């Protein structure tokens, strides 16, 4: 069972607490208590082992390809989280004996996970256990853990087996060559391993300090293949406490800031770092990390006053996870679709980043948003190669992206239809092409919100222009209709494969070309230096004619007599079935218990927001009537089988004044990971959904939108929420925004005047000033 402990005082609404332990539901807290710092992350499997645990540690950007049948993925690194505890020679586990006063808590404020309980073994000996662990945000390579066990009723022999275990794999795929093992000073354990194809060496170090009432407990070691463990054992008398502190770090030869070091030097450096960390000890190290967390929270914290404290906790949970999963330290790395919380999606970046998570960074931590977009820029060579290989021009971004050099990494073959024995082809890597628009849009959105000219000059314009060039080359001339079409795609609704003129794809492609033309002319006049460089690179002068000639001839699906924009050429003519059963499903994907994917392709049913997503993205292109009609039409046909769907629908419902539906969809979105379904998070966190929740709060309820390059603040709170206070940056100016049912308060803490609209009116807010509307 989960509980949302409101906490007390400073910790009110900062704690997520598990109040009972059930081995069946380990996946839940492994995922939602995941710890990390963007450099690395770890599922929070318990220190002791249980059947069906999933113990994963990932270091961002260290992609490796197991073999030619596989695509590159983030390898599951050596584990340091397991500490076996033996009481009188028997492995401790909560599934044996009995326990009381159990709780396990993730502290969102500091990133620490704690756990405590009283446990009685089968012989009736009682012990008080307490655990702590964190991954440092102060030193990105550092993790630490502490266990204390107090003998309450009897003396006992207590033993800890702990070290580095490199026998881990990604569900059987072993990404590492075994490397050297070493112990320095009988304390500092080092193990190396190297990825088999990308040849990245990982250096794992760990050291323990085990004390019984302050007296050092001595150790011996045991070595196995890919494994070094230290063994500490001591008799513990009644009322005595034995304590183990385990401090560990990991470095890799992919680390940007240490690139210049030889492997030998890096090994030495890493051990020196560990020694110095050990001198500080758990508490000091934790305080240093907590300090960095405090700074981060100061910049992003959102206050929500509502009829339910859960709302406050939920937005913090969202922001906690968005922070720990994002490799803000290195612009060669993107966000994995499950962060570091599971092997799912192999650590690859999807459109999830640009359309769901990026707005959080763009509006609150523009330097991180910039790093993430620079990552996309770093993949542009692969995007050009992909375009060329497909007979197109410009930049055709990979549907799934890993290391920049890897290019398209979407698996070609998916789940085997094990009845026919044939693998299902995954079409997304070939024809889910809107990712290119999504990236282009995110670049433009970032630019409009931040005004970061430096980014645009170095990376942004190139992306905007080259994605326009791609789309122009992608268009297909329809002789009969005398229009440019885009055929054979998968749109955001992945239940419709091989469709023609997917509305989302056509509209955003149009947008890309139009935007490219706009910046072509702008650069030519205003930034001739940059224009010339890009012209040189992209042959802009040749391309512009093509873009300008084709743009007005692109077919943009128009609203029909009922104001419905057809999702694609055939959607509106497909069979309609009673979706009631599936709309009320307990588990996502229930449709497939009754229909195969090829059958689903022929039904008016959608996995997720598609036309609705379009109306959120380019909202000023559609009238309120059209939005309403389409929302009602498509919402009724959308199963939200993708976790990306609910947030968009929630925001649009709010836009259309259906506040109850909006709030209900928002609550559904928050319960995907933080709800009472104990199995929904087994494979990892729903990262894009978290980004979507942030958008519901800030862009939906809070009403923050960039529309056509301008800031609009038009809050609409659901009745359940009394007030929201949050910070955003607009063109580098920090705005503090407070929204309640009576008024909107905006304070400009920046250095320049900020202009924004609200309703029909436009406002200018000078620096240092506050305005109530």
Q: Verify whether residue 494 is a known catalytic residue.
A: yes
Cβ proximity of 498 and 490 under 8 Å: yes
Least distance between its own copies and beta carbon 343 (Å): 8
Least distance between its own copies and beta carbon 675 (Å): 20
> How far from the centroid of its chain's Cα atoms is residue 120's Cα?
40
DSSP labels for 640-669?
--STTHHHHHHHHHHHTT-HHHHHHHHHHH
Question: What is the distance between the alpha carbons of residues 349 and 327, in angstroms, rounded to a whole number?
Answer: 12
When the beta carbons of 53 and 632 are compared against its own copies, the nearer one is 53
Q: Per CB under 8 A, which of residues 543..602 are in contact with its own copies?
A: none
* DSSP secondary structure code for residue 356 in this structure: I
User: Which of 73, 432, 494, 635 is flagged as catalytic?
Assistant: 494
The total of other beta-carbon atoms located within 10 Å of residue 477's CB is 11
CA dihedral 530, 533, 537, 540 (to 10 degrees): 60
What residues have CB less than 8 Å from 93, skipping those under 6 apart? 48, 49, 50
Using CB under 8 A, pick the residue from 8, 9, 89, 742 that binds its own copies.
89
C-alpha distances (whole Å) from 65 to each of 170, 317, 403 are 11, 32, 11
Least distance between its own copies and beta carbon 171 (Å): 4
When the beta carbons of 95 and 625 are compared against its own copies, the nearer one is 95
When the beta carbons of 9 and 421 are compared against its own copies, the nearer one is 421
Cβ proximity of 631 and 652 under 8 Å: yes
**Residue 182 interacts with its own copies (CB under 8 A): yes or no:** yes
Least distance between its own copies and beta carbon 337 (Å): 16
Using CB under 8 A, pick the residue from 1, 12, 24, 552 that binds its own copies.
24
Question: What is the distance between the alpha carbons of residues 382 and 406, in angstroms, rounded to a whole number?
Answer: 7
From 63-71, 148-156, 201-209, 399-407, give the range in contact with its own copies by CB under 8 A. 63-71
* DSSP secondary structure code for residue 590 in this structure: G
Q: Per CB under 8 A, which of residues 36..55 are in contact with its own copies?
A: 49-52
Using CB under 8 A, pick the residue from 12, 221, 287, 596 that binds its own copies.
221
Least distance between its own copies and beta carbon 439 (Å): 29
C-alpha distances (whole Å) from 395 to each of 255, 309, 377, 390, 552 are 28, 46, 10, 11, 21
- Tell the residue number behind the tokens 């919402």, with chain if given: 635
**Residue 31 interacts with its own copies (CB under 8 A): yes or no:** no
Question: What is the distance between the alpha carbons of residues 678 and 2, in angstroms, rounded to a whole number?
Answer: 9
From 84-92, 352-360, 499-507, 533-541, give the range in contact with its own copies by CB under 8 A. 84-92
When the beta carbons of 416 and 743 are compared against its own copies, the nearer one is 416
When the beta carbons of 191 and 706 are compared against its own copies, the nearer one is 191
Question: What is the distance between the alpha carbons of residues 503 and 509, in angstroms, rounded to a whole number?
Answer: 10
When the beta carbons of 193 and 638 are compared against its own copies, the nearer one is 193
b/e 123-140 (16+ beta carbons within 10 angstroms → b): eebbbebebbbbbbbbbb
Torsion angles phi and psi, residue 640, rounded to 5 = 50, 40
The structure tokens listed for 239 are: 């009322």
From 220-228, 636-644, 738-746, 749-757, give the range in contact with its own copies by CB under 8 A. 220-228
When the beta carbons of 341 and 638 are compared against its own copies, the nearer one is 341
Using CB under 8 A, pick the residue from 23, 307, 560, 751 that binds its own copies.
23
**Residue 262 interacts with its own copies (CB under 8 A): yes or no:** no
Residue 349, classed as helix, strand or coil, is strand
Least distance between its own copies and beta carbon 200 (Å): 15
When the beta carbons of 139 and 170 are compared against its own copies, the nearer one is 170
**H or E stretch at 281:** helix 263-300
**Residue 418 interacts with its own copies (CB under 8 A): yes or no:** yes
Q: Per CB under 8 A, which of residues 142..181 are in contact with its own copies?
A: 166-174, 176-178, 180-181
**Residue 686 interacts with its own copies (CB under 8 A): yes or no:** no
Per-residue x/- marks for its own copies, 222-241, CB under 8 A? -xxxxxx-------------
User: Which alpha helices (H) appear in 479-565, and where do they start and end?
Assistant: 503-526, 528-538, 540-550
Using CB under 8 A, pick the residue from 3, 12, 69, 560 that binds its own copies.
69
Residue 222, burial from CB neighbour count under 10 angstroms (0-12, 13-18, 19+): exposed
**Residue 93 interacts with its own copies (CB under 8 A): yes or no:** yes
The structure tokens listed for 185 are: 């000073």
Rama region for 488: left / alpha / beta (φ>0; ψ in -120 to 50; rest): left
Question: What is the distance between the alpha carbons of residues 574 and 601, in angstroms, rounded to a whole number?
Answer: 9
When the beta carbons of 155 and 196 are compared against its own copies, the nearer one is 196
Least distance between its own copies and beta carbon 610 (Å): 28
Least distance between its own copies and beta carbon 253 (Å): 17
Q: How many residues bind its own copies (CB under 8 A)?
A: 47
Least distance between its own copies and beta carbon 174 (Å): 4
What residues have CB less than 8 Å from 595, skipping those under 6 apart? 603
State how beta strands 215-216 and 303-306 pair.
unpaired
Question: What is the distance between the alpha carbons of residues 614 and 626, in angstroms, rounded to a whole number?
Answer: 12
When the beta carbons of 165 and 401 are compared against its own copies, the nearer one is 165
Residue 157, classed as helix, strand or coil, is strand
Least distance between its own copies and beta carbon 226 (Å): 4
The structure tokens listed for 278 are: 């050990």
When the beta carbons of 167 and 476 are compared against its own copies, the nearer one is 167
Least distance between its own copies and beta carbon 426 (Å): 15
Least distance between its own copies and beta carbon 77 (Å): 12
Question: What is the distance between the alpha carbons of residues 79 and 49, in angstroms, rounded to a whole number?
Answer: 12
Residue 247, classed as helix, strand or coil, is strand
Using CB under 8 A, pick the residue from 114, 155, 196, 725 that binds its own copies.
196
State how beta strands 710-713 and 754-758 pair.
parallel
When the beta carbons of 255 and 343 are compared against its own copies, the nearer one is 343
Using CB under 8 A, pick the residue from 4, 6, 20, 96 that binds its own copies.
96
From 86-94, 274-282, 445-453, 625-633, give the range in contact with its own copies by CB under 8 A. 86-94
From 221-229, 271-279, 540-548, 656-664, give the range in contact with its own copies by CB under 8 A. 221-229
**Residue 676 interacts with its own copies (CB under 8 A): yes or no:** no
Using CB under 8 A, pick the residue from 9, 10, 67, 295 that binds its own copies.
67
Q: Which residues are tagged catalytic? A: 494
Q: What residue ranges bind its own copies (CB under 8 A)?
A: 23-24, 49-52, 66-67, 69-70, 89-91, 93, 95-96, 166-174, 176-178, 180-183, 186, 196, 221, 223-228, 415-416, 418-419, 421, 423
């Amino acid at each position: 069972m989960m509980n949302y402990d409101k906490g007390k005082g400073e910790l009110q609404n900062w704690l997520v607490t598990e109040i009972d332990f059930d081995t069946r539901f380990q996946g839940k807290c492994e995922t939602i208590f995941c710890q990390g710092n963007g450099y690395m992350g770890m599922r929070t499997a318990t220190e002791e082992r249980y059947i069906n645990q999933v113990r994963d540690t990932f270091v961002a950007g260290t992609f490796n390809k197991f073999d030619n049948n596989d695509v590159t993925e983030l390898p599951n690194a050596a584990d340091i989280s397991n500490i076996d505890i033996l009481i009188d020679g028997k492995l401790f586990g909560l599934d044996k004996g009995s326990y009381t006063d159990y709780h396990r808590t993730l502290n969102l404020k500091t990133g620490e996970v704690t756990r405590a309980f009283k446990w009685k073994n089968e012989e009736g000996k009682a012990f008080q256990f307490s655990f702590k662990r964190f991954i440092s945000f102060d030193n990105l390579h550092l993790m630490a853990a502490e266990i204390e066990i107090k003998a309450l009723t009897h003396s006992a022999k207590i033993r800890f087996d702990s070290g580095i275990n490199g026998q881990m794999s990604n569900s059987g795929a072993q990404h590492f060559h075994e490397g050297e093992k070493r112990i320095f000073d009988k304390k500092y354990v080092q193990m190396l391993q190297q990825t088999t194809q990308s040849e990245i060496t990982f250096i794992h170090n760990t050291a323990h300090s085990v004390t019984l009432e302050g007296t050092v407990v001595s150790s011996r070691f045991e070595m196995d293949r890919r494994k070094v463990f230290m063994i500490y054992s001591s008799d513990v008398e009644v009322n005595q406490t034995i304590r183990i502190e385990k401090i560990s770090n990991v470095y890799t030869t992919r680390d940007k800031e240490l690139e210049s070091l030889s492997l030998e030097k890096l090994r030495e450096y890493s051990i020196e770092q560990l020694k110095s960390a050990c001198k500080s000890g758990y508490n000091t190290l934790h305080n240093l990390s907590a300090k960095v967390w405090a700074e981060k929270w100061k910049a992003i914290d959102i206050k929500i006053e509502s009829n339910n404290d859960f709302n406050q906790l939920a937005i913090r949970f969202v922001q906690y996870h968005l922070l720990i999963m994002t490799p803000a330290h290195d612009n060669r790395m993107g966000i994995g679709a499950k962060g570091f919380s599971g092997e799912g999606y192999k650590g690859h970046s999807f459109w999830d980043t640009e359309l769901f998570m990026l707005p959080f960074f763009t509006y609150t931590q523009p330097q991180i948003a910039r790093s993430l977009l620079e990552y996309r820029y770093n993949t542009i060579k692969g995007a050009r190669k992909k375009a060329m290989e497909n007979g197109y021009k410009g930049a055709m971004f990979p549907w799934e992206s890993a290391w920049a050099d890897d290019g398209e990494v979407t698996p070609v073959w998916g789940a085997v239809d094990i009845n026919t024995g044939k693998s299902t082809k995954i079409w997304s890597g070939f024809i889910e092409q809107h990712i290119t628009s999504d990236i282009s849009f995110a670049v433009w959105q970032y630019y409009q919100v931040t005004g970061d000219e430096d980014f645009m000059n170095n990376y942004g314009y190139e992306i905007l222009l080259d994605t326009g060039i791609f789309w122009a080359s992608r268009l297909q001339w329809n002789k009969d209709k005398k229009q440019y079409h885009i055929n054979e795609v998968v749109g955001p609704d992945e239940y419709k494969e091989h469709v023609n003129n997917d509305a989302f794809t056509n509209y955003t492609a149009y947008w890309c070309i139009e935007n490219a033309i706009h910046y072509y002319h702008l650069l030519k006049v205003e930034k001739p230096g940059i224009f010339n460089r890009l012209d040189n690179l992209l042959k802009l002068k040749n391309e512009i004619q093509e873009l300008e000639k084709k743009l007005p001839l692109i077919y943009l699906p128009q609203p029909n007599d009922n104001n419905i924009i057809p999702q694609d050429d055939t959607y509106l003519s497909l069979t309609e079935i009673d979706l009631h059963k599936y709309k009320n499903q307990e588990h996502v994907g229930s449709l497939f218990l009754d229909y195969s994917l090829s059958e689903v392709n022929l039904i008016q049913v959608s996995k997720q927001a598609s036309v609705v997503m379009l109306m959120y993205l380019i909202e000023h292109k559609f009238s309120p009537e059209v939005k309403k009609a389409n929302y009602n039409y498509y919402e009724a046909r959308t199963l939200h089988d993708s976790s990306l769907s609910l947030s968009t629908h929630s925001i649009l419902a709010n836009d259309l004044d259906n506040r109850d539906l909006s709030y209900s969809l928002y609550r559904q979105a928050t319960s995907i990971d933080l709800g009472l379904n104990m199995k929904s998070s087994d494979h990892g966190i729903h990262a894009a959904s978290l980004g979507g929740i942030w958008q519901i709060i800030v862009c939906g309820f809070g009403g923050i939108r960039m529309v056509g390059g301008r800031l609009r603040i038009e809050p609409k709170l659901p009745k359940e929420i009394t007030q929201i206070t949050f910070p955003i940056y607009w063109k580098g100016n920090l705005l503090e925004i407070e929204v309640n049912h009576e008024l909107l308060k905006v304070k400009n803490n920046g250095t320049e005047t900020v202009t924004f609209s609200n309703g029909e009116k436009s406002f200018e807010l000078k620096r240092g000033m506050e305005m109530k509307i």
